[in-house]
Amino acid sequence: MEQNIVGAPSRIMSGGRPTGRQHLGHLVGVLLPWAQLQEGNETFFEVADLHALTTAYDRTERIPADIREMVIDWLAAGIDPQRSTIYVQSHVPEISEMHLLLSMIVPVAWLQRVPTYKDQIVALGGEIATYGFLGYPLMQLVDIAIMRATTVPVGKDQLSHVEFGREVVRRFNHLYGPTLVEPQATISEFPDVPGTDGRKMSKSYGNTIDLADDEPTTTKRIRSMLTDPQKVRRNDPGRPEICPVFKLHKIVNVPRVPAIEAECRTGALGCVDCKSQCAGAMEHFLRPIRERRSAIDPNVVDTILADGAFRAREVASATLADVKSAMHLS
């Protein structure tokens, strides 16, 4: 299942729901790896607005603004529209049509047994137990298969979706002849990015360091972070392994990590100084991205997405034509 993405060029497809401004967790877990994947591969990055409807069908007003903010952050992080096709899912109507066609061959039980389905129904409540939500792993497969992507970077929790998608492709090819490409997953090890309250960094917790924030805002947020509660006085020995500030050092201040760990344990380093160092390293880490962000004309987003939709539709319409032909629909 796993495949080394270093080597032969691949066509890579990935995407994300329009969640507005991106934060440090998005940057190190998704955007910087995507930027690297652009080297020597063909890359398609999708703003999955239809996926957003599966859980937020009653809160759609913010979707256009969230798309714009998210794409600006993608560009600032190094996603290059000259090298990657960046598009909005609903701007490629072939995806919806192929989703309908493939829905005819997918047993409901296959969708019900996707592990995240039951988990999310429990976590988010019965109002998302909709027809559309049940089918979202199929929509993910269509996103991938319609672009004839060979490689999909995913976290371990998404592996079951790719495996489900491969089963659907095999079933389609068995029924109608070899038409679709079976995608391979590549495992991305997402670093543990703590939010400013020590929980996982997430917009829903209000604990994020956003790419669009300015330096004083970020510094203030880092200064407010909780540390090891046993390190009360400056010279008390600390436990970096339970400290979220230390986790941030491991992301943005790598060369200094061994020294910070040692100085924390002996009590040579106080938390106030440690946070100041972290804020300085964070500013150094984020500054180039923030500078690129502030230089981006928001109006360029529409042009990039229109161009991306055009390029994505060229590929998608060819795949859809093959699917319909295989199903004797044209």
Closest CB to ligand SF4 among 16 and 240? 240
Closest CB to ligand SF4 among 73 and 228? 228
Closest CB to ligand SF4 among 80 and 236? 236
The footprint of ligand SF4 (CB under 6 A) covers 227-228, 231, 238, 240, 243, 245-246, 264, 269, 271, 274-275
Instruction: Provide the angle, in degrees to the nearest 10, between the axes of the packed helices 271-295 and 63-76.
Output: 100
Closest CB to ligand SF4 among 72 and 248? 248
Minimum Å gap between C-beta 205 and ligand SF4 is 20
Please name every residue paired with 43 in a beta bridge, in sequence order, or none if there are none.
12, 84
Buried b vs exposed e over 252-282: b needs ≥16 C-beta within 10 Å? bbeeeeeebbebbeeeebbbeebbebbbebb
Minimum Å gap between C-beta 276 and ligand SF4 is 10
Minimum Å gap between C-beta 287 and ligand SF4 is 22
Closest CB to ligand SF4 among 271 and 279? 271
Closest CB to ligand SF4 among 63 and 271? 271
Minimum Å gap between C-beta 243 and ligand SF4 is 3
Closest CB to ligand SF4 among 223 and 292? 223
Minimum Å gap between C-beta 247 and ligand SF4 is 9
Q: What is the DSSP string of 156-184?
A: GGGHHHHHHHHHHHHHHHHHH-S-S---E
Minimum Å gap between C-beta 275 and ligand SF4 is 6
Lateral strand order in the sheet of 84-88 = 84-88, 42-47, 11-16, 151-154, 184-187
The answer to whether 312 and 92 have CB atoms below 8 angstroms apart is yes
Residues in the chain, overall count: 330
Closest CB to ligand SF4 among 25 and 240? 240
Q: What is the DSSP string of 194-217?
A: B-TTSSBP-GGGT---BTTS-HHH
Phi, psi for residue 153 in degrees, rounded to 5: -80, 125
Minimum Å gap between C-beta 236 and ligand SF4 is 9
Rounded CA-CA distance 66/49 in Å is: 10
Minimum Å gap between C-beta 216 and ligand SF4 is 20
The answer to whether 238 and 228 have CB atoms below 8 angstroms apart is yes
Around Cβ 236, how many Cβ atoms within 10 Å? 13
